[in-house]
Amino acid sequence: MKTSTIGAAACRALFIAAMFCSPVLALAQDTRTPSKITAVTVYTDRAIVTRTASVELSAGESCIALEKLPVDLVDASVQVRGRGTAAATILDVTTAITHTDKVDATSQPRVKTLQDELKAVDKTLRALNDRNTTLQWQVSLVGKIEDAIAAPPAKDAPASHPKIEDMQKLLDFSRENRAALAVEGQKLSDEINETQGRRVALQSQLNEILQGGSARKSYKTVTVRLNAAKSGSLDLTLDYTVHGASWTPAYDVRLRAEERVVELAYHGIVRQSSGEDWKNIALTLSTARPGLGGSAPEAKPWYVDVFVPKPAVDASSGSFNRTGAVSLGNSNALMLNTAAMDNRFNNDMAGNRYTFAANGDGYTGGRLTAAPALSVVTSDYAVAKVDNTTTSASFKIAAATSIPSDNTPQKVSITTAKLGAKLQYQSLPALQETAYLSAYVDNSTEFPLLAGSTNVFLDDAFVSTSSIKTVMPSERFQLSLGADEGVAIKRRVVNRFSETTGLTGKGRRVTYEFLVTITNKKKTVERVVFKESLPISRNEKIVLNVLAPAERDIGTVEKPGKEVTREENNTLVWRIDMKPGEKREIPVKFNIEYPGDIQVTGLE
């Protein structure tokens, strides 16, 4: 691949210079061909753009120039392929940087339109601010009237008491006027904020034109040199990589509690600032990470040795060589930048030229044949098609999409699905007497659910903004749906007392007794899980005795199956399936014994 700044006419110049040596080159044509973006595959940190162009070729050699491409496109990523009736062979593909001439941006019609709109917006803002000043005066006037009536009479004024009817009229007057002024003030504030936002947007557009339009812009031109054995049509496809593009997943999750179903809307949030707008393109979102490469990194030796101080080195001059190495003038050190040589193509350095033979359907030496007709299939629902590989997945968005090059987030729909859910109420009543609803959902789709933000709804009510981790097909994930009053849970202290133990009374015992009450107010059977933390002794002299529930009724993680289980950090966990309207009272009782001659911390 060649990258230079010689302009789009480089190909023509080469052929003119060589025309006395080759009669075939003398027949070469240089054609500037319009192209359009038809498809884009977006990764998490880059995108592959597909452009298409159609040309009519005459027999002989031709140069097809595709102009005004992003200046930051990755030269080594350029691939060209083609199909058509012209029996053509791609000889080479080159890239070149071209520059536009400076233009007077103030002469553009769009500038005059924006300036007129700004004047109109400024006039509207002045009127709104005048209305706001009047409104504030009215509010102040109502306050002064209230103060004047409520103020005590002067010392030399005759004593008088206002009538109840007059005071009621004053209160009604104050309430009605203040309410009306508050409504008008809120409405006026919204209008001012909206108008100011419009002014900022207009000014931003104007600044972009004035600053960017008067500057010299740079683009890249890809020139395809090919040879046609006979005249005919040719459809070229150009692929190249650009940075400044990314996508992240986002979800709307709606639980239908009575149906025990989760309605999942899977979205992709796409941003791009590649330098060109993508209009009505076929969009694909990929989970692959090409920047990581295809192989795992190799382990490097980790040396440990005795430290030996090195003598000080004076400052020295140095230089970079073509391999990316740094040489220091007065030193034997040589620092190799091996990364500078990664992923490089072999270059033909003669005449400072970089060339390569295109791969794909239009590879060097191959023939281009007419493409078969494409069949068009319509879908009932606009959902993405997923292509799974061993290491990644690609989502082909069904509807044509437009993504401007301004880095603003654009939401596209990947798919919708209905997933089965198991509901569970969770609580830690010792800290908060509230039951929190959770849904455990199985990903029964063929789509992996990548880690991303989630808007959670319970029926038609918004609950919260949360996030999920990556969930593969057939994997289960949890959704937190917030507090739900459908299950009530209360915990009260029944008793707490201290006593001495032993024949000599030198021992101490502290007993705690609680009662947890759970009520299922729902019309359906609900599972309730609540936890009670028991003390953990860090000294063998301090002994914990659990009295209720009985030790024989407590299961373990290794041997579950009982209503209550002892789990990590000495926590008792109850899992109860409660019938509609059912009420349960569960006692929790334990004591702590220790010698009286030690002081114990952590007792409540």
- Indicate if the pLDDT at residue 376 is higher than 60: no
Give 263-273 pLDDT, tens digit per residue: 999 999 999 99
Tokens of 159: 């004593």
Beta strands in 376-447 (DSSP E): 385-388, 393-396, 401-403, 410-428, 432-442
Q: Are residues 206 and 219 in the same domain?
A: no
Give 48-59 pLDDT, tens digit per residue: 999 999 988 888
Give 106-150 pLDDT, tens digit per residue: 556 778 888 889 999 999 999 999 988 988 888 888 777 777 666
Strand 507-520 and strand 36-42: pairing?
unpaired
Q: Are residues 388 and 279 in the same domain?
A: yes
The secondary structure of 225-249 as a DSSP string is EEEESS-EEEEEEEEEEEESEEEEE
Q: Are residues 231 and 206 in the same domain?
A: no
Q: Are residues 209 and 258 in the same domain?
A: no
Domain count, the chain: 4
pLDDT for 293 equals 57
User: What is the Cα–Cα distance from 392 to 287, expressed in whole angstroms?
Assistant: 5
Residue 328 within any structural domain of the chain: no
Of the candidates 76, 407, 2, the one whose C-alpha atom is nearest the C-alpha of residue 241 is 76
Task: Judge residue 454's burial from the number of C-beta atoms within 10 Å of its C-beta, 0-12 exposed, 13-18 middle, 19 or more buried.
Answer: buried
Q: Are residues 82 and 178 in the same domain?
A: no
Of the candidates 285, 232, 242, 228, the one whose C-alpha atom is nearest the C-alpha of residue 51 is 242
User: What is the Cα–Cα distance from 587 to 364, expressed in whole angstroms?
Assistant: 83
- What percent of the chain lies above the pLDDT cut of 70? 75
Task: Judge residue 415's burial from the number of C-beta atoms within 10 Å of its C-beta, 0-12 exposed, 13-18 middle, 19 or more buried.
Answer: buried
Q: Are residues 128 and 73 in the same domain?
A: no
Residue 311 within any structural domain of the chain: no
- Indicate if the pLDDT at residue 43 is higher than 90: yes
Residue 310 within any structural domain of the chain: no
Q: Are residues 442 and 584 in the same domain?
A: yes
Report residue 64: phi and psi, to 5°.
-105, 115
User: What is the Cα–Cα distance from 215 to 210, expressed in whole angstroms?
Assistant: 9
Of 349, 384, 417, the residue that ends a domain is 417
Residue 44 within any structural domain of the chain: yes
Give 218-268 pLDDT, tens digit per residue: 889 999 998 888 888 889 999 999 999 999 999 999 999 888 999 999 999
pLDDT class of 559 with cuts at 50, 70, 90? confident
Give residue 580's domain range: 420-595
Residue 558 within any structural domain of the chain: yes
Q: Are residues 433 and 517 in the same domain?
A: yes
pLDDT for 27 equals 41
Q: Are residues 542 and 560 in the same domain?
A: yes
Residue 322 within any structural domain of the chain: no
Lowest mean pLDDT among 285-299, 303-317, 525-539: 303-317
Q: Which helix (H) or strand (E) holds 121?
A: helix 109-150
pLDDT class of 481 with cuts at 50, 70, 90? confident
Mention every residue, 6+ apart, whose C-beta is less than 8 A from residue 362.
80, 81, 82, 88, 89, 90, 226, 236, 368
Q: Are residues 74 and 116 in the same domain?
A: no
Q: Are residues 274 and 137 in the same domain?
A: no
Residue 229 within any structural domain of the chain: yes
Which strands sit side by side in the sheet containing 2-4, from one edge to the other?
2-4, 88-99, 218-228, 60-69, 29-32
Mention every residue, 6+ apart, whose C-beta is less than 8 A from residue 341.
323, 324
> How many helices (DSSP H) and strands (DSSP E) are in the chain?
3, 31
pLDDT for 362 equals 35
User: What is the Cα–Cα distance from 90 to 364, expressed in whole angstroms?
Assistant: 5
Contact status, residue 454 vs residue 265, Cβ threshold 8 Å: no
- Indicate if the pLDDT at residue 358 is higher than 60: no
pLDDT class of 187 with cuts at 50, 70, 90? confident
Of 417, 445, 471, the residue that ends a domain is 417
Q: Are residues 86 and 122 in the same domain?
A: no
pLDDT for 59 equals 86
Give 159-175 pLDDT, tens digit per residue: 556 666 766 777 777 77
Residue 516 within any structural domain of the chain: yes
